[in-house]
Chain A
Amino acid sequence: MEVAGEVIKEDGGGWTWRSPDVVYGSRRSYRMWYVVVGASPEKSSEKMTGRRKSLRSGIDPSMEDLPAELTIDILSRLPVKTVIHCKCVCKKWRNLVLDSSFVNLHLSRSPTGLLFQQRVSGPGILKWVEIEEKVDDHRLHPMSLDLNMVPVFRNCEISGMGSVDGLICLRQYSRRHDNTFICNPVTREIMTISNPPYYRKDFEIKAYGFGVASSTGEYKVVRTFKWETWDDDKFQWVNELGAEVYTLGTGQWRRLGRVPYKLYGYDFGVVLNDHCHWIVSRSEDAPEKICAFDLNKETFQFFPAPSETTDSSQSLAVLKGCLCKSDGNRFPFTIWVMKEYGIKKSWHKEVVITEEALNSIRAFRYYKYPIYLIGFLKDTMFFMGGDLFAFYPTSDTIEKIESFEGSRNGLAYRSSFLKLQNFESETVHIRRDCTCISNPITIWFSNHLGCGKLDKAYGDVMESRYSHLQRVSILVMDSWLIFSSWRNPDVLVYHTSGRGLKDGTIFLRTGDLWEFYPTSHTIEEIDTCEGLESPLAYRPSFLKLQDFESEKKLSSDPVGYKIMDTWEFSNLLHRMAYRLSFIKLRNFESERSYLLKEYGINNSWHKEVVIILEISNDMILAFRPLHLIAGLKDGSILMVFEGKLCVFDPRSETIEDTKIFNPNLRGLAYRPSFLKLKNFESERHLKDT
């Protein structure tokens, strides 16, 4: 365990977790942090006596004797970290937590929230912190569940493509990579969805969707793609749209045939009612502007869209259980809500955000980024347009959440303990190394984000006392307080629960975490919590990815990484073309060399060699494509592997480093000859040197 820190009992009786690893302003690697802010002295002493009393009163019931049902019920109400701690309590508890009834109950009680990807220091980092409600006193529990995907994705762009039951579908996209991953941040499991065998580099993935089919309980990834195909009639290359679906646990994509219309951009579909919804591309002459994919029947169909629509950017979201569509890259920004699912007439113009409302927010970069909706938490609506914005319908106010600059890919997300490892024929890796980050932490803002109104009174207090913050506005959102400062976008204040509000304690941070008591106008530094960014409402759950029945049970040891890239290149070997592709699986990877027996005859491609390599964990990401150079007389193959010149012996299936030199380059088959360049007539004759 890598916990740097200790639990400190404060004078007042509260408990504080201090981690020396967390030093504000430093760029030190950030493991994780868990802060329990000590309660105010009076309260905590009260609490402590209460606790002691309960410990002293030695009546019989031990939780060990309780019916499992009751224990599960109690555990399912605990925050995710406490549940994990509870796994250590006793064997019985551990088994209960692994139980699927616990997983499901926990998920059902875990609130829906929002997930963001932060791009503060390059791509690849998904970060969040959960702030849970503390019911019986005014304590703040920021918890970080930061997921640093950099070790997995290197510095590739990743985008969230959808989230269901705590599983997130991620896409890694770059010139060299086009990979799909499913991950559960709670269990730190990541699995790769390999591209289908028919996948070609020129496939252009258009739309993604990730959802669960309720009839079978299958988790499915659906995507549409575009590729060029030769049309004999038109005698030209034409674009064709296809769709494919991947059921988690089956290990393969299934083609669904052609899709007659283009779906909007690279959007991920919005899942509701067993359907995944996308906006149909503007260019398409489709009868409806929304397309839905039935996750049960696996069919596409048009879906009634609001009749009144503009040509500007549109997005879909689920707000309060209703499908919802936003309209407008410019003013007014309109949000439509479909009150009754599937009924065209029920589309209803719910919110129109006017230019005036948006103008009140500084630096609203709507012109640069399309606005899209993310979701609803309680009554507050969240949308993004370069930054994160919150709209409070009750007060008709809109707020830019300053600290979330650079956030991208807002997703509605519910955390869970679903185990990916239970998906058969999938290779799942637990990446413990994805915990440490040297960057500001992103916050999971959990459930209780309510609606609210601006409360300038607090802002004044802050301004007078902390002038460096300049123009602090404090947003009182029901039970939450969010502070933001125009000058210092880093200032974010959040608050615990409604209870916390009653005594008015406010937590804020300007790099550090502060506690502010409006009654006494005092401010206290609480602990060092670095870089709280990108709030995510998050519901922890114990759904285990491992629980997917048909999935292969794998050890939870960190294992290698499955890379879906398929490099195809040909080479000359025994004067024959080779096609080589490789797939890495767990700790080994198989290299298949295909030998073209008869030149030009496609059927004659023949699987000649399969190379299985034991590779260590560290090598996985550093792994470079293997280059075949030539076949040697004894049947062994000369190749460049990991930058070294190696010989593969097919009989013993070993790779031997020739240790001759490290070409670090692609090798060439070369035969010495006495052909004289001079003999090329029209070339300039060069002197031998």
Chain B
Amino acid sequence: MSKKTLTLMSKDKQLFNIEEHLAVQSVTIRNMVKEDGASSVIPLPRVDSETLALVIEYLNRQQAPEEDEDYVKKFVDERGEIPTLLELAQAALDLDIKKLMDAACMKVADLIKDFTLEEVREALRIENDRTPEEEKAIRDEFQWAF
């Protein structure tokens, strides 16, 4: 019996094929398959093709369960850039792939944890919407931490 294949469609309308038994590691896909058999294309409107390719690569891994933890770690380590990781984490969140999301979040946390305030803002492209007074209030509140 040939293995059933699912088709996933990224935000930019690219199609990816993946065997169903691998795809159902994603709880979201599993639920969709359960509901309607998912014969047609599964659209993933928030995931771009680059990220989806990564997710597919991850889902296609052939690791023994005991090596899996290390593999996931290595997988995100190799893609150790914050924007990529954030995309990956978001895709993992949408697709509900817990292990991947955990690993990606962990990696982002590791990367930013030594950053200064400014570096965090820069790295994550966050605009500073706090007035100096507000910032001072926090610094005062947690004086010991600064």
A contact set with B: CB distance below 8 Å: 1-3, 7, 15, 31-32, 34, 36, 50-51, 53-55, 57, 59-64, 66-67, 69-70, 73-75, 77-82, 84-91, 93-94, 134-136, 139, 141, 144-146, 187-188, 430, 432, 435, 556
Contact = CB atoms under 8 A, between A and B. Distances in A.
A493 B44 CA distance: 51
Contacts of A85: 116-117, 120, 145-146
A67 B141 contact: no
Given A64-B125, A78-B112, A136-B111, A84 B145 contact: yes
9 contacts: A36-B114, A55-B123, A57-B83, A59-B84, A63-B124, A67-B90, A94-B138, A141-B114, A430-B141
Contacts of A64: 124-127
Contact of B128 (A50, A55, A75, A89): A89
B87 interface: yes
Interface string B87-103: 10110010000000110
Report, nearest first, the 3 A-B pairs whose CB atoms are least far apart. Answer: A77-B109, A63-B124, A62-B125
Nearest to A144: B144
Max chain A CB contacts within 10 Å: which of B80, B84, B126, B143? B143
A90 B114 contact: no
Given A32-B146, A85-B117, 9 more contacts: A53-B81, A54-B111, A70-B89, A74-B108, A75-B109, A77-B106, A93-B126, A135-B110, A188-B143
B91 to A, nearest CB: 10
Contacts of A15: 114
A21 B132 CA distance: 25
Contact of A82 (B80, B81, B112, B140): B112
Given A74-B109, A88-B139, A430-B141, A61 B101 contact: no
A19 B46 CA distance: 46
Contacts of A7: 116
Contacts of B126: 62-64, 89-90, 93
B144 A188 contact: yes
Interface in B12-59: none
B29 to A, nearest CB: 19
Contact of B144 (A91, A134, A146): A146
B90 A84 contact: no
A437 B33 CA distance: 61
B4 interface: no
A90 B128 contact: yes
B136 A1 contact: yes
Given A1-B146, A62-B124, A90-B127, A67 B109 contact: no
B135 A88 contact: yes
A63 B127 contact: no
B90 A61 contact: yes
Given A53-B81, A73-B101, A139 B146 contact: no
A84 B125 contact: no
A61 B86 contact: yes
B121 interface: yes
Contacts of A78: 109, 112-113
Max chain A CB contacts within 10 Å: which of B122, B135, B142, B145? B145
